[in-house]
Amino acid sequence: MSDIVLIYPAMTGGRNPHGSVIPLCFAWMAAVLEQNGISVRVLDLQVEDADLVQVLREENPLCVGVSGTTQSRFNSFKIIEAVKSIDRDILTLYGGPHATPAAEDTLQHVRSLDAVVRNEGELTVLEIMSALKKHRRLDFSPIAGVSFHKDGRIAHNPARPFIRDLDQLPLPAWHLFRMESYRQTMEFLDLPGHAIVTSRGCPFQCSFCSARLLWGHRYATRSAQNVADEVQHLAERYGIQGFKIFDSTFTVRRSHVLAICAELKKRGLHRLPWECEVRADTVDRELLQEMKSAGCYYVDMGLESACARVLKQICKGVTLQQVEDVVGWCNDLGLMIKLFLTWGHPTETYREALETFRFMERNHHRVQRMAAHVGIMIYPGTGVEAFAREQGFLPEDFSWSRPYHEAAHSTLGSDPSVPLLLQPQMNRRHLARIFFKIHWKPLLTFPNVFKKIWACVWNRESRRRHLNTLIELCNQRFNLHIRPMGG
């Protein structure tokens, strides 16, 4: 039996048997709860098949906490509805990056939900569970960081102060997870890796990003010793051979990066390759050199647009020259680099979008991976959502909790459950042309076509795969509905 069951929903499309990113929010929350005598069961439906009725009967919990993203919100809502249909007395909580900015909307429409836990959840859920275990009933009124139904309206309690010293949190409760299900291969390396976080918060103002809505503008870090303790534990107990740092930006504070690099080298952990996300205005050649010496082999960096006006419009805060400098330093130092590029920003024109495409073509030989995304997804609480509502690109009565599925988004590689920003000067037709230029046109060069024909002639599996690629191209380009070939 468990006092609380924490459930992470499957993404759209269901369970991923090949592994997903571990829900770090639950790993830390479970550790805090266990440290305070509250028993926890974690159920991650990204990687597990489970009968919810059976789980609730086995655990008989006082509370079920559900998290998830905007993409998985409808699956989260279904779980909450199912819990209440099984046992009305179970307290239902919802938190995470979607719940925080959409608390009002969610509580209005998901009637089986008792409360939304906003922002950081560890201490809020601990306070809820401590009171629930003691009194078997709960008054949300004195609990900071909670939104809930009260006297026929929705009440939003004052925000809970953010945790300033992250070292006060215990190491994540990895023992509650099926760790073998999260063995993601390190990109470009045939090694099992794992996700860690060394800081919370984002001091930057990018209009399209929702990270700061969950963690706030303040920036809090773990000590180098604390981070190294976790890496060492994961290596010794679970056999990881690399890791990815999932901070919004790892290099916000130079002293933080240098301390972690020094501690990794001191313990011999620099032999584990690692990846992190940087900003062009937070690194220089010397810092990148130090990171490489501590095991960093791959850095991710957001450019988004190669047009100076668009960069200013989306409050990115970096210049094209800064990005070019970082790419050059990485090339000189032997660091691999991934660049994030997106098309369809507020007020961006097709002509401006082509500047980013030309940058991509110019630098393809210097960048190991261009993570190109066509179409800006609208997330609750972001500057993009505010722009879309002001300009009428979202319906006046749009609700994040009402059914939404736009199948046409999938032709641009986007999730059909999340609205795309479509504007007169950058509509679906423009985005489709960009998508074709990026993803299909390079495949139609003579060398690529010849290789595909050769592969089709000599290998049956390859023949089926490449024919299906051609079918998909025709379906997207000519709006056809040809079914792919089976195995």
Q: Average the pLDDT over 59-65 and give the result.
A: 96
Q: Are residues 320 and 199 in the same domain?
A: yes
pLDDT at 170: 97
Residue 235 within any structural domain of the chain: yes
Residue 176 within any structural domain of the chain: no
Angle at 369 between CA 365 and CA 372, to 5 degrees: 110
pLDDT at 180: 85
- Average pLDDT in the chain: 90
pLDDT at 18: 40
Q: Which of 35-44, 141-150, 181-190, 257-266 bottoms out in mean pLDDT, i.e. has the lowest?
A: 181-190
Residue 353 within any structural domain of the chain: yes
pLDDT at 134: 87
Residue 381 within any structural domain of the chain: yes
Q: Please tell me the number of Cα atoms within 13 Å of 450 on its side-chain side.
A: 3
Q: Are residues 78 and 221 in the same domain?
A: no
What percentage of the chain reaches a pLDDT higher than 70? 90
pLDDT of 15 > 60? The answer is no
pLDDT of 484 > 80? The answer is no
Q: Whole-angstrom Cα distance, residue 67 to residue 6?
A: 8
Q: Are residues 76 and 29 in the same domain?
A: yes
For 207-246, write each residue's pLDDT tens digit: 888 777 777 778 999 999 999 999 999 999 999 999 999 9
pLDDT of 394 > 60? The answer is yes
pTM of this structure = 0.87
Q: Are residues 199 and 125 in the same domain?
A: no
pLDDT of 23 > 60? The answer is yes
Q: Average the pLDDT over 407-414 and give the result.
A: 91
For residues 260 and 247, the answer to whether their CB atoms sit within 8 Å is: no
In terms of pLDDT, which residue wins out, 450 or 408?
408
pLDDT at 461: 61
Give 453's pLDDT tier (boundaries 50, 70, 90): low
pLDDT at 17: 42
In terms of pLDDT, which residue wins out, 185 or 153?
153
Residue 186 within any structural domain of the chain: no
For 365-392, write each residue's pLDDT tens digit: 999 999 999 999 999 999 999 999 999 9
Q: Are residues 278 and 139 in the same domain?
A: no
Q: Are residues 395 and 308 in the same domain?
A: yes
Q: Average the pLDDT over 183-205 and give the result.
A: 88
For 120-152, write each residue's pLDDT tens digit: 999 999 999 999 998 877 889 999 999 999 988
Q: Are residues 52 and 141 in the same domain?
A: yes
In terms of pLDDT, which residue wins out, 138 or 443?
138
pLDDT at 450: 54
Residue at which a domain ends, from 109, 129, 156: 156
pLDDT of 115 > 80? The answer is yes
Q: Average the pLDDT over 155-169 and give the result.
A: 95
Q: Are residues 333 and 426 in the same domain?
A: yes
Residue 170 within any structural domain of the chain: no
Write the CATH number for 373: 3.20.20.70
pLDDT at 153: 94
- Domain of 137 in residue numbering reads as 4-156
pLDDT at 454: 55
Residue 397 within any structural domain of the chain: yes
Q: Are residues 246 and 308 in the same domain?
A: yes
pLDDT of 487 > 70? The answer is no
In terms of pLDDT, which residue wins out, 104 or 181?
104
pLDDT of 16 > 80? The answer is no
Q: Are residues 73 and 131 in the same domain?
A: yes
Q: Are residues 320 and 469 in the same domain?
A: no
Domain count, the chain: 3
In terms of pLDDT, which residue wins out, 63 or 134?
63
Residue 184 within any structural domain of the chain: no
Write the CATH number for 132: 3.40.50.280
Q: Are residues 265 and 334 in the same domain?
A: yes
pLDDT at 207: 84
